[in-house]
Chain A
């Protein structure tokens, strides 16, 4: 059998299209279906030109093809409102769901921190948190892996052009979800998240600041090493993930200043916030594929 897992992408917008372009280079995941709801949409037309099978009637338009085409993994880049139904229908057919919406019905997944665990347990639905979460939680975890973190705070600054109407209408969801994952995945006792939207032209690169308060005096050498190691882990799937300054120590406060440059596939390079989501989503599916190929997990049985 091919080692590649075959995939369906739901939502042919910016995220879905960028994901498709990245997936076409993947050794582990093969894009087969693109699902939308508007037959006239640019995204579906584009996907068709790129050789994808398309459904313009949501996932219902392709469910009967899932087994025949051996679809094993789905990426949902639609909205929190429809995600639960998409996930239920596809999970029933044994398809692993990577959730790029804020629905978060499955556990949070930040690849260098907890992906291995999710993959080894064959979690059938994992949630990719938020762009700010993907960019910052590895840094919180880098500190909390050295010593206890009482409080973790992240500030994500994104260009106005890179955030869509969905995020804007429910910006509270970003701050709540990210803060929750700073705790649940980052390992901070208490989490706080702030997002700033900047309209400067030319658009600014995504920037992220991470502050942690350690319970005891910070072990500067160990934290510095841990932060640099973690940056390298993220760079494996987001090459433009860059430590600009830090870690800086001030009492029990540890601060790091990051910049995230995207690959510029479908989305411009400044939109590192979107790029890190698609790259993390793909990395997640690849890990499931690797584990299945190595026989450490067994994908759901099919007749």
Chain B
């Protein structure tokens, strides 16, 4: 694979996807320390919101330590070069949240839908594009359908005004060939000016390999997370990816030692549990289940005595999609009843 001279825009997820791993409890001080460290290291784009995006604050996904507005207002004024993005899932957040984020100084809005439901994003993508924001369409759980279906849905988002489309491996299920095929088809069929991005999870140990495959196939934005802080086994670990891109002579604009230090000195110490491919995270990848289900399934195991792994496999069998966290307790209760545990 030759990535020599390719330009890669790295997008940090530790303060958004990482919120899943922190049960949305990062403090304002932690957010500011990590984001300023990333800014100083040269990371151009940093996502800041509740793990489930703007408006994610809920009993279903968890109440955060602070509101999205508080986090954004704490981080954005401290940025020297980095821009800040916010995620929005239609059905959870609304255009009111989007306008709030814009007023806080958010540069990039990423509107996320399940990979077959792009048409619920029209009002949000349209509004963000109308406000001249960097507008990204983010197709989640992209492993569940064919490359042709992803293209069809990407074209919808493009038609609503998205200037960048993401193929998102929310379950950490994909292997590099699948990434190449999907990104490759998007690259050949979408408007040449439309940027492409890839968002990986490390549940099958493939995050770095998949991200490289994505760049090779034509993606220029790659999501990662410093020290991998993210849902499931975490996102593509940014400091590792930077080192790999260095070795491959791709252009990324990030200082390797500085980002290593952010990972080691700031992020690893605040982890509540090691972010690694444990058996439950591996099950997410293997069964194709949304990564943020991990801690919910582990809590259900502790409460109802049903193995997290069994819950996750059943959730995969039922075709659950992102956001269906409420199914986890419901299913654990049903399984516990069947086993006579409650």
A residues near B, CB below 8 A?
151, 153, 155, 157, 160, 165, 168-172, 174-176, 192, 194-201, 204, 207, 209, 211, 213, 244-246, 248, 253, 255, 257
Contact = CB atoms under 8 A, between A and B. Distances in A.
A196 B323 contact: yes
Interface in B290-336: 318-321, 323-324, 326-327, 329-330, 333-334
B191 interface: no
B23 to A, nearest CB: 15
Interface of A is mostly: strand
B120 interface: yes
5 contacts: A153-B59, A172-B90, A175-B92, A198-B321, A244-B330
Say which size band chain B's interface belongs to: 20 to 34
A198 B319 contact: yes
Nearest to A195: B91
A155 B55 CA distance: 13
B116 A171 contact: no
Given A157-B327, A245-B334, A255-B59, 13 more contacts: A151-B59, A153-B58, A155-B326, A168-B117, A171-B91, A172-B124, A176-B94, A197-B91, A197-B114, A198-B324, A199-B319, A209-B330, A257-B330
Nearest to B118: A168
A108 to B, nearest CB: 19
Contacts of A192: 58
Nearest to A257: B330
A110 B95 CA distance: 27
A248 B119 contact: no
Given A207-B327, A253-B59, A255-B329, A197 B334 contact: no
A172 B333 contact: no
B122 interface: yes
Given A198-B319, A204-B318, A257-B330, A172 B114 contact: no
B249 to A, nearest CB: 41
B4 interface: no
Nearest to A165: B119
Given A175-B94, A198-B321, A170 B116 contact: no
B123 interface: yes
Contacts of A199: 114, 116-117, 319, 321
B146 interface: no
A169 B94 contact: no
Given A157-B324, A176-B94, A199-B321, A209 B60 contact: yes
A144 to B, nearest CB: 16
A175 B326 CA distance: 17
A160 B334 contact: no
B286 to A, nearest CB: 19
Nearest to B325: A155
A200 B318 contact: yes
A70 B114 CA distance: 48
A160 B119 contact: no
B323 A168 contact: no
Interface in B127-182: none
Contacts of B60: 153, 155, 194, 209, 211
B338 to A, nearest CB: 12
Contact of B92 (A165, A170, A194): A194
Contacts of B321: 196-200
Interface in B66-121: 90-92, 94-96, 114, 116-117, 119-120
A196 B178 CA distance: 26
A255 B303 CA distance: 15
B123 A171 contact: yes
A198 B90 CA distance: 13
A169 B324 contact: no
Given A169-B122, A200-B318, A248 B329 contact: yes
